[in-house]
Amino acid sequence: MRHWVIVPAAGSGRRLGADVPKQYLPLAGRLVIEWAIEPLLGRDGLLGICVALAADDRRFAQLPLSRHPGVEACAGGRERSDSVLRALRAIESRAAAEDWVLVHDAARPCLERADVDALLAAVGADPVGGLLATPLADTLKHADDAVRSDRTVAREDLWRALTPQAFRYGVLREALERAEAEGAAITDEAAAVERRGLRPMLVDGRPENLKITRPRDLELAAAILMARGAGE
């Protein structure tokens, strides 16, 4: 299956409070970004990996990963969706409209190879694509202005969106270009695709595929990776 990988890694990760952007924090013997990309390497049909970096990034070029065949870097943008769009433009002369593009956050180090395989198998011949996601397990509360619960929100049809998200190059490019032109705030690729009236497939993925956001997430990610035998 012809596919590209795009890794938005141009965030500053300020919410985490570290000097180093979260994708470059050490985790179980490697860096977060190295863990994030590893499960996406080596599949048949992989055409290239484009990593979108901040303008002042000097760290990526130091990693052995940057010299891996098929890995290239491009400049990211102001928002995550700008970074993804720039990466799509960087590969445009080589990508076909029907090629799959897997977009995976550099800050998600606990992705399992099996979930990538499941995503690719699920989207298969679909004209649109889909994303890894996980059904909500907890009861949801809506907060009032005083941060008191004023109602319980039905969770039956709610899922948490994860990455990778896999879309056809042409579908994703058009959806992101349109969202940019209309000034719409887009938090993931699926949101841009939904705005075009299309319905991305929700593919059940492991909830451990967390995004590093708070310091505690790093400890959790380390525990998840160690439980899988990392560092042995």
CB 202 within 8 A of CB 133: yes
Nearer to ligand C5P, 139 or 187 (CB): 187
Site string for ligand C5P, 124-163 (x = CB under 6 A): ----------------------------------------
Interface residue with ligand C5P among 16, 74, 107, 120 (CB under 6 A) is 107
Cβ-count burial of 3 within 10 angstroms (0-12 exposed, 13-18 middle, 19+ buried)?
buried
Angle in degrees, CA 208, 59, 86, rounded to 5 = 75
User: Cα–Cα distance between 171 and 99 in angstroms, integer?
Assistant: 10
Can the peptide bond before residue 164 be classed as cis, meaning omega within 30 degrees of 0? Answer: yes
Site string for ligand C5P, 61-100 (x = CB under 6 A): ---------------xxxxx--x-----------------
Interface residue with ligand C5P among 3, 5, 16, 23 (CB under 6 A) is 23
Please, which contacts does 73-76 make with residues 24 or more away whose CB atoms are closer than 8 Å?
74/50, 75/10, 76/8, 76/9, 76/10, 76/52
Beta-carbon-side half-sphere exposure of residue 184 (alpha carbons within 13 Å): 17
Q: Is 109 in the site for ligand C5P (CB under 6 A)?
A: no
Q: How far is the CB of 208 from ligand C5P (least distance, A)?
A: 17
Q: Which stretch binds ligand C5P (CB under 6 A): 101-109, 118-126, 130-138, 191-199?
A: 101-109
CB 104 within 8 A of CB 131: no
Nearer to ligand C5P, 185 or 227 (CB): 185
User: Cα–Cα distance between 178 and 161 in angstroms, integer?
Assistant: 21
Nearer to ligand C5P, 77 or 130 (CB): 77
Q: Is 103 in the site for ligand C5P (CB under 6 A)?
A: no
Q: Which residues, numbered 193-212, are part of the site for ligand C5P (CB under 6 A)?
A: 211
3-class SS of residue 192:
helix
Q: Which residues, numbered 25-64, are part of the site for ligand C5P (CB under 6 A)?
A: 52
User: Which parts of this chain interact with ligand C5P (CB under 6 A)?
Assistant: 8-11, 23, 52, 76-80, 83, 105-107, 211, 213
